[in-house]
Structure 1
């Protein structure tokens, strides 16, 4: 069977070949209605751009990479879906890579896997520093996801994130507003993490605003933002003396919170009656946990859109663009794990 061509797509969509080319290349001057018609024709016919031919014609392949720590983490799996959808709207194809949080791998991917084919990279780094990234950001267009320590006059790449300090402050304030006075934090990592540092800062701020004192015994160290770490940390907290044992826990990820909930269940401790639990990430897993988990929900669609469009702008720019920090919205959703009110799940 002959390969589907731009002309085939143009005939199906009722537009010119030039219009199809503009849509496939992500040129923004095409109307939304025409773009949707062309993309529908692309999917119906199964058109696949030829990266090598495209690069010969335009100097670009239309291929970008998304590099995340771990695709088994619900947050990154959901985010990857949004990135692929947004890239498709701009006529871009996404190569997805896992770094497993390894700094050397993060640095390698920041320069572009198969850099002769990639037009740009969206990277969610855990451990590589901005100073280490700075020398390579000129090699290929790069957008960073997540919370990194930075000074605005020293930004060396575009950043897309939520305000982690404010989000952590909101969650902790919610717990304090319920009358909880011994609020623990599960998420202080043994290795440096910008997310952990910022969420801990927001936690501190909210405690201070509520007139509560930070107790380091209520902040056990963990290795990773994962279920087993939340389970073990919560078990440690439950061993504390009665006057110290927490009546609420803010977990720095939903996975940590779900592990903590399991520890409470095993110990026969009522959640939220005795210990309220809240997380951050807004994963689907949080909605279906028992009890359903109070969490901060970052707008993943907005994060993906900002990241892909920011990268596309940099790829398509004739000259250098200033680096920027883009904040995506988030919302705190109170559920059964703090409010204690059973509600049927929306379907």
Structure 2
């Protein structure tokens, strides 16, 4: 069975088949699914090295993330690639768009002939989908605490990390703190967890959160942060600080505040979450929570490799340590 056979079966070119199997990101989803279906139907095997043929492995692990336009996931992918390289592994990346159906499809597709293991960061799945995680391919979850088994899970400390950012703003004397990036009605997910942790931190400090200062934004891109800030300024509501539920939202807000002549941090202090690379080079530099991205990647890859090598011990839930980086957007 050759790549040309797969191409003929799927109705695409051999180059398209090669791109799909190499994890090339700019492939139409319907085309990619058709190629993978043909690969499975024909039993096509990648042209592996002699070492991998002998071991029965591909030497490839999968990484399924919501999307690489979100800087955190792009930098996480880079960290995973570096961690995998230390094990002699290649990473094939898949974008799910944080859509539940696409996340379920990523789990349901036969993968054994493509990857030896899967790192999976779901945003669309919920508690009721836990049983869907029982797949034959070794897998480690990344992200929120929305499942308790049946697989290993490496998590961001969203609660304590967000609380530390809120407490920092409170220590600076800020009391009317706006939040950008809320998802009204969301019960499980990053926005719900971080917004809830923010509100709890304020209430424990004896400060009442202002619901009118909670600004929805979805997806968490710069443009949405900027738009939310424009809406907040247009409303005339008073605020002296902003917490972006991720860095890109905070950076979008900073752009709009600066455009309107609002001084940062003199008039409004701004903090974010994720410590993306841009946070250290923005103007002003951004105070943010570093969730330990490199450690998350390294821990997750190590766990996955152990499972691929037959480790059948109890599953682990590991929360990565965080650090709050205080920079110019709050300290001047």
Same fold (TM over 0.5): yes
CA RMSD of aligned residues (A): 2.0
- In structure 1, C-alpha distance between the alignment counterparts of 2:320 and 2:286, rounded to whole Å: 22
Q: Give, in whole Å, the separation in 2 of the partners of 1:291 and 1:113.
A: 47
Structure 2 residue aligned with 1:328, among 320, 327, 332? Answer: 320
Match of 1:159 in 2: 153
Using the TM superposition, give the Cα deviation of residue 236 of structure 1 relative to its aligned residue in structure 2, in angstroms: 2.0
Q: Specify the SS of the correspondent of 1:239.
A: helix
2:96 matched to 1:99? yes
Distance in 1 (alpha carbons) for counterparts of 2:83 and 2:51: 20
1:129 positional shift: 2.2
Equivalent position to 2:174, from 169, 180, 183:
180
Aligned counterpart, 1:228: 223
Q: 1:285 aligns with which of 256, 278, 287?
A: 278
Q: What is the Cα deviation at residue 191 of structure 1?
A: 6.8
The 3 A distance-change label for structure 1 pair 157 and 130 is farther
- CA distance in 2: counterparts of 1:66 and 1:102, whole angstroms: 16
The separation in 1 between residues aligned to 2:79 and 2:316, in whole angstroms, is 21
Name which structure has the greater RCO, CA cutoff 8 Å, separation 6+. 2
Q: Is the 8 A contact 1:65 1:95 kept in 2?
A: yes
1:263 aligned onto 2:256: yes
Alignment partner, residue 27 of structure 1: none
How many Å separate the matches in 2 of 1:326 and 1:292? Answer: 30
**Mapping of 1:122-271 within 5 angstroms?**
122-150=119-147, 154-190=148-184, 192=186, 194-241=189-236, 244-271=237-264
Q: In the alignment, which residue of structure 2 is the partner of 1:3?
A: none
Alignment partners' CA distance in 1, 2:109 and 2:56: 16
Give unpaired runs (5+ residues) of structure 2.
1-45
CA distance in 2, matches of 1:303, 1:129: 21
Is 1:302 aligned to 2:299, yes or no? no
Distance 1:114 1:238 in 2: 49
Supply the distance in 1 between the matched residues of 2:297 and 2:245 (Cα, whole angstroms): 21
Which residue number corresponds to residue 337 of structure 1?
329
Aligned pairs for 1:74-85 (under 5 A) are: 74-85=71-82
Q: State the shift of 1:54 in Å.
A: 4.6
Distance 1:116 1:329 in 2: 35
After TM superposition, the structure 1 stretch with the greater mean CA deviation from structure 2, 232-241 or 86-95, is 232-241
Distance 1:299 1:211, change over 3 A: same
Contact kept in structure 2, 1:111 and 1:139, CA below 8 Å: no
Q: Is the 8 A contact 1:51 1:117 kept in 2?
A: no
Q: What residue number does 1:60 align with?
A: 57
* Counterpart Cα distance in 1 of 2:114 and 2:97: 23
SS at 2:116 equivalent: strand
In structure 1, stretches of 5+ residues that fail to align are: 1-48, 341-347
CA contact (8 A) 1:298 1:331 kept: yes
Q: Partners in 1 of 2:216 and 2:183 — Cα distance? A: 5
The farther-off stretch of 114-123 and 274-283 is 114-123
Paired residue secondary structure (2:159): helix
Once the two structures are overlaid, the 10-residue window that deviates more, 75-84 or 129-138, is 129-138
**Count of residue pairs brought into register by the alignment:** 286
Distance apart, 1:187 and its partner CA: 1.7
Taking the aligned partners of 1:136 and 1:149, their CA distance within structure 2 comes to 12
What is the alpha-carbon distance in structure 1 between the residues aligned to residue 281 and residue 207 of structure 2? 32
Change (3 A) 1:212 1:224: same
Structure-2 separation of matches of 1:160 and 1:79: 13
1:18 maps to none
Offset of 1:117 from its aligned partner? Answer: 2.6
For the residues of structure 2 that align with 1:201 and 1:171, how far apart are their CA atoms?
Answer: 13
1:220 is paired with a residue whose SS is strand
Aligned to 2:43: none
